[in-house]
Amino acid sequence: MADERDKQRFKAGLAQQLRYIRNSCRLYDEGDKEEAIRAALAMRVMFHDTTDKRGRPRSVSLLTHLRAKERIPLRTSCRIPPPGTAMFRGMGRYHLYVSPDYSEVRHWVEPVLDFEAHPPELMSVQDWWEMPVYVHDGVPPVPSLYLRRTDIILAAANKEGGAHIDRKPNPDYELLASAGALDMYSRDVGLANGTTVRLPPLRDAPFIYLRQMAFEVLESAALRCLLSPYY
């Protein structure tokens, strides 16, 4: 009986986290981009397991509690980059604007929020969690970046204010901060008039990626099936 009560409690917790993600996505789309942090926190609760130095569980994810982490698939909206890939931008739709007189050059990325860029595929929860979504072989001073979903989700959830705010952020967090330290999408653009423009990193690129990951989670039917009374 206790096991059944626990199972129902964990299912209720999963339904709650999915509601949090859905609400955060709605608010994000209405203009509150920092809601991506709340979505990251919900995804951490759903998927992230930790152990101590002796290998004993410290934090157990909802999917592990439900004994579903090894059995259900999640949807991905991008392909796994081949080994040795020098540049990979797995999420979001990139835009570059150059005015007719070349006086204005700007760029931005927005979440795709559909499967236009890549037909949906299914993969295991662990593969989804560990999949690289941004790869850039940087040329100094731009750092080389190899970012997985877990890197971006945990940086936002653990360090950006989702779970707590560190007084002294570690260097890994500095690279994953939303304020542009990541140098995501920083680039030199050669214009037709012969000039080269240095485009700055996008300050909210991690939020954009988190919004896309949240879309994938909400589109993963297997997660909703876990809520069935027949599961």
Q: What is the pLDDT of residue 162?
A: 45
Domain boundaries, the chain: 2-225
Q: Each residue of 105-119: pLDDT tens digit?
A: 999 989 988 866 667
Q: What is the pLDDT of residue 76?
A: 94
* 8 A C-beta contact, residue 132 and residue 90: yes
How is residue 24 annotated by DSSP? H
Q: What is the pLDDT of residue 168?
A: 55
DSSP E strands, the chain: 50-51, 57-59, 73-76, 87-89, 93-98, 105-110, 121-124, 132-136, 145-148, 187-190, 196-199
Contacts with 121 (C-beta within 8 Å, 6 or more apart), sequence order: 75, 76, 79
Q: Which residues of the chain have pLDDT under 50?
A: 1-2, 161-164, 170, 172-173, 178-179
Q: What is the pLDDT of residue 181?
A: 58
pTM for the full predicted model: 0.86
Q: What is the pLDDT of residue 85?
A: 87
